[in-house]
Amino acid sequence: MNGSKLFLDTNIILYLLNGDETLAELLNAKQLYISVITELELLAYKGITVKEEKIINEFVSQCKTITINNAVKQETIRIRKAYHTKLPDSIIIATALYLDLPLITSDIEFKKVEELGLVFYEK
């Protein structure tokens, strides 16, 4: 795993956009990766304002967004069957595993995926 690259879960981006300075310091100077699922979760939120959408789009443009390919699909199926995670979480986990990047999250459910390089962030 590479120490200069991190794969972000959706909750981490929400904390960051809400002004979490500790998290901002942790992510500073890192290459940030997200799943297309994370982008969709952020932008498809029912109550999002035009201003919030602009801020999210600016942040997302600074990240490398990874789409779902066949390898990620197969890994998603395996993760979901093995760990009974929600489908969006399974896709995010599978994408991080596919890229061999540590995944930063505050979702305790991700801890059960033993092969995942996890950076658990406690808010």
> Domain ranges in the chain?
5-120
Nearest to 43 by CA among 17, 19, 23, 69: 17
- For the chain, percent of residues with pLDDT exceeding 70: 98
What is the mean pLDDT of the segment spanning 59-69?
A: 98
What is the mean pLDDT of the segment spanning 52-56?
A: 96
Does 2 score more than 70 pLDDT? no
Pick the CATH number of 5-120 from 3.40.50.1010, 2.40.50.140, 3.30.200.20, 3.40.190.10: 3.40.50.1010
pLDDT at 1: 45
Could you give the CA distance from residue 49 to residue 47 in angstroms, rounded to a whole number? 6
Does 109 score more than 70 pLDDT? yes
